[in-house]
A and B are shown apart, each in its own frame.
Chain A
Amino acid sequence: MATSSSGAVAAQATPSYLPLALIDKCIGSKIWIIMKGDKELVGTLRGFDDFVNMVLDDVTEYTFTSEGKQTTQLDSILLNGNNITMLVPGGQPPEE
């Protein structure tokens, strides 16, 4: 999959990180995904594609509403990459 990004890492002269290469390294470990709205997900990253649609296992979905935090447990999901804002490797769950 992310073969193009790992190839680009080698080509890069400066020691700067490539975003998608970093996400590729997260495969198999926990990741925290912050969506555009008031939604966040924490789960184990299994894979992703060019659009950064993501396959996640053992997911906890958090929705922050004015009434408080709402959580949902999900086994295995394909998350649409369209509404992702940020990806946090390691993925601590939101504590509040």
Chain B
Amino acid sequence: MSKREGQKTIFEFNRYLNKRVRVKFNGGREVTGILKGHDQVCNLVLDDTEEYRRDPDDPFKLLNETRQLGLVVARGTAVMLVSPVEGMEEISNPFVNVAES
């Protein structure tokens, strides 16, 4: 533990402090929230957190519905992906119409 403490991670979460980030979790859950803090093992503090609801039949498919969670601590062991929301947008599938036209 003490050895790890001194080690720097490659994650530069400080750059995203007080910015909205999207977090994907092992197991399929997905949230966005304002990053308020973090630690060495990727535990995160997120404020104003919204969780995306998932399709009950296919838990890996997201619905557009969200629910408010507020201030949360995300477990580092479950975190899979962290990405700033700003500068990210979902595009329509550019290949879907190719065959039709």
Contacts and interface: CB of A to CB of B under 8 A. Distances in A.
Contacts, number: 87
A84 B57 contact: no
A48 B83 CA distance: 29
User: How big is the B interface, by class?
Assistant: 20 to 34
Contacts of A36: 25-27, 29, 78
Contacts of B69: 34, 86, 88
Q: Is the interface of A mostly helix, strand, loop or mixed?
A: mixed
Contact of B59 (A4, A38, A81): A38
Contact of B72 (A37, A66, A86): A86
A22 interface: yes
B71 A88 contact: yes
B96 interface: no
A64 B45 CA distance: 25
Interface of B: 1, 5, 14, 17, 25-27, 29, 31, 36-39, 43-45, 49, 51, 56-57, 59, 69-78
